[in-house]
């Protein structure tokens, strides 16, 4: 199978030296890429700025901003079987980007923010590839993840606690399916969690193919 995986944060420029970003390390997405390669699959990894070793065998597409990630996903979804959206894409970006460094002053500084483009919501409803979303939440984790599953038209959503998952080598997740079933993966190293996730993605994709044949 052909996996298209997004990983890491995005950086939304404020001026030439500053940006808005988040704490995503990219470790979960990179672990999924490695697990998919180990399982014999082809992998394209669209990666925001991270300090993680590139998975051997993956074709890596480096991006920085949410707009660049959006464009890269659009470019490569036509040739994938499973899309794994594990990147922590910024929800907002500055409405205006200063061409020069904003100088420090005594007065308060306000930034006007506008929403970034929603990659998951932009995907076509009629598609031949499996869509896996990720929900990093801090409260009502499962309930919020299930809302995302249906609102964003995902086939699967992987939910985790952002407070303990980000920047950590470990993770525990709840996998939510479109038929309202769920599966929990206990806390373990992200590479171990990733192997379990890849098996789940494979199985769901194969079931989808079987239904279409029947």
Residues with a catalytic annotation lie at 22
In the numeric block, the tokens 């990894």 are attached to 45
Dihedral of CA atoms 131, 135, 183, 192 in degrees, nearest 10, equals 90
User: Which residues, other chains included, contact 52 with Cβ-Cβ below 8 Å and sequence gap of 6+?
Assistant: 8, 25, 26, 27, 30
85 touches 131 (CB < 8 A): yes
Three-state DSSP at 110 gives coil
Question: Within a 10 A sphere around the Cβ of 137, how many other Cβ atoms?
Answer: 17
The pairing of strands 82-85 and 2-7 is parallel
Strand 82-85 with 130-137, pairing? parallel
């Amino acid at each position: 199978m052909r996996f298209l995986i997004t990983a890491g944060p995005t950086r939304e420029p404020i001026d030439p030296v500053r940006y808005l970003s988040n704490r995503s390390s990219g470790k979960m997405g990179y672990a999924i890429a490695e697990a998919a390669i180990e399982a014999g699959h082809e992998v394209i990894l669209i990666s925001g700025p991270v300090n993680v070793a590139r998975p051997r065998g993956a074709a890596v597409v480096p991006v920085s901003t949410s707009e660049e990630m959006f464009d890269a996903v659009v470019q490569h979804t036509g040739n994938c079987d499973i899309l794994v959206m594990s990147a922590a894409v910024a929800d907002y970006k500055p409405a205006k980007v200063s061409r020069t460094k904003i100088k420090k002053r005594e007065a308060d500084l306000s930034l006007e923010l506008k929403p970034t483009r929603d990659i998951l919501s932009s995907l076509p409803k009629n598609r031949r590839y499996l869509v896996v979303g990720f929900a990093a939440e801090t409260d009502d984790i499962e309930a919020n993840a299930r809302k995302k599953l249906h609102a964003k038209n995902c086939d699967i959503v992987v939910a985790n606690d952002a407070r303990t998952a980000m920047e950590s080598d470990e993770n525990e997740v709840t996998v939510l399916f479109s038929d309202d079933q769920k599966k929990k993966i206990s806390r373990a190293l992200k590479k171990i969690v990733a192997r379990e996730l890849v098996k789940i993605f494979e199985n769901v994709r194969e079931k989808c193919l079987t239904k279409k044949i029947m």
